[in-house]
Amino acid sequence: MHYKLTVQYDGTNFLGWQLQPQGPTIQGELERAVARLFGAPARVTAAGRTDAGVHALGQVACFHAEKEMAAGDVLRALNALTPPEVAIADVALVADAFDPRRNALSRKYRYRLWTRPWRSPFWHRFSWHLWAPLDVEAMRAAAASLLGEHDFSSFQAADCDAANAVRRVFRSEFRVADGQLLYTVEATAFVRHMVRNLVGTLVEVGRGTRGVQEFRDLLELRDRTRAGATAPARGLCLMAVKY
């Protein structure tokens, strides 16, 4: 049977989604839980390989098991077998051909900036604290220029192994809410570190050290060295995957 999971996690203490020999990962925790539940090892694949420190509210994962169990029973059991930082929000039986990565139509991420002068004891694990004023309207204008299909070479990690950096962006916007600045971006897919590199560069626009047109020009330059620094992982969350 093929099981589809919707997974939430606080990525603070994990080395990302993908299995790593040197420390805990989300994939590792889920595979241990699945093996205990079904009595046999199983590979758990995901819609996106989130990096170390990145969180998720809507990660989608899948695994195959010979034994059939009711979705509700799998949900309760896996939540009992995973650590407190990991939760299974939904379980569904799907066709064997379902692939959480290849079948995805889009992924939606949100980056959280905490903009009050003091640090937040509640949000500090899930946001980047920036206490200097930001020009939000300039950031919105720059973010809007990302809509449509572009080559995001200027915003991919140096070690990115993607075949190309062309991605289609459906949503790219900022919203102010209770002392926080929330950046939401939805696209067909993302190259490595793309959202964090976008945010790091958009913050430069907000600080006035980079103009809106200069930001737009980065799409044509296709040069990672010309864009801003990578924003901290703790502010990033995978919100949803659409199929």
What is the rounded CA–CA span in Å between residue 32 and residue 86? 13
Q: Which domains does the chain have, with CATH numbers?
A: 2-94 (3.30.70.580), 106-242 (3.30.70.660)
Quick one: tokens of 28? 């590792």
Quick one: tokens of 55? 């969180």
10 annotated active-site: no
161 has a pLDDT exceeding 70: no
**pLDDT for the residue 99:** 97
Q: Which of 58, 173, 179, 180 minimizes the C-alpha distance to 112?
A: 180
- What are the Cα distances from residue 102, in Å, to 44, 62, 109? 14, 12, 18
pLDDT digits (tens, 9 = 90+) for 12-64: 999 999 999 899 999 999 999 999 999 999 999 999 999 999 999 999 999 99
Please state whether beta strands 106-114 and 86-94 pair in parallel, antiparallel, or not at all (unpaired). Answer: unpaired
Residue 90: CB atoms within 10 A of its CB come to 13
What is the rounded CA–CA span in Å between residue 51 and residue 33? 21
Please state whether beta strands 236-242 and 106-114 pair in parallel, antiparallel, or not at all (unpaired). Answer: antiparallel
**Which residue in the list 51, 151, 159, 223 is annotated as catalytic?**
51
**pLDDT for the residue 179:** 86
pLDDT digits (tens, 9 = 90+) for 71-127: 999 999 999 999 999 999 999 999 999 999 999 999 999 999 999 999 999 999 999
pTM of structure = 0.95
